[in-house]
Amino acid sequence: MGQKNQSLRAGKVLYIVGAGGFGRETLDAVLAGLEATPGDSDLCFVDDGHPGEVIRGLDVIGSGAVLAGKDFVIAIANPDVRRRLANAMLSGGSVARTIVHPGAVVGPETYLGDGTVLLALSHISSSVRAGNHVQVNYNATVGHDCVLEDYVTVLPGANVAGGVTLGEGSTIGSGAIVLPGLNVGRGAMVGAGAVVTRNVPAGAIVKGVPAR
């Protein structure tokens, strides 16, 4: 597993990249982790749309003000934007930190990659392999033996059954269900509330019950 928020050390900087809705939700997860294991950390948002502002009591800086060698998490739902910003931060010498809300459940033999974010009440079962910069939102469940490739997004309340592979940059919409053992291709989008009963080709958008 990448470094977890519970291990933040005094004086250590964490950049939360993106000060929008998911950025603030990621901040909630970071702060909950700090409460679970008291510590101290300098937190700030990085967002070129809001430099100089204060959001939720944190300073917002532009990307040009980022210092090398500090930790970061990309807190933006769009997988393509997340990939671009993660690569920019990494090439600038920043270090991706994994954020797990203390109210998330992570099963045994499950691996979480660097920069991955699990929000409260997400449940990632056993023997799951989640890549880098994956996001699993509130109340979403991921079954045993799933593979979530880099930049996957599982939106609130989605239910991914056991043995599913979610391709790089794919998104599972709110409340959607993916039946066991299926593959969702790279960059595909599963609509909110869909029930996926067949493999989804790369780049496809599917919706409805059954998903088409």
Interface with ligand COA (CB under 6 A): 155-156, 173-174, 189, 191-193, 205, 207-208
Shortest Å, Cβ 136 to ligand COA: 12
Hey, what's the torsion of the CAs at 90, 167, 207, 143, to 10 degrees?
A: -100
51 vs 185, beta carbon nearer ligand COA: 185
129 vs 207, beta carbon nearer ligand COA: 207
159 vs 174, beta carbon nearer ligand COA: 174
Residue closest to ligand COA when measured from CB atoms: 191
Are 131 and 152 spatial neighbours (Cβ–Cβ below 8 Å)?
Answer: yes
Out of 50, 123, 133, 144, pick the active-site residue: 144
Shortest Å, Cβ 37 to ligand COA: 28
Q: Using alpha carbons, select from 60, 56, 52, 54 the residue that is nearest to residue 18.
A: 60
What's the burial of 152, exposed, middle or buried (CB within 10 Å: 0-12/13-18/19+)?
Answer: buried
User: What's the Rg (C-alpha) of the chain?
Assistant: 17
* Catalytic annotation present for 123: no
Catalogue the active-site residues. Answer: 144
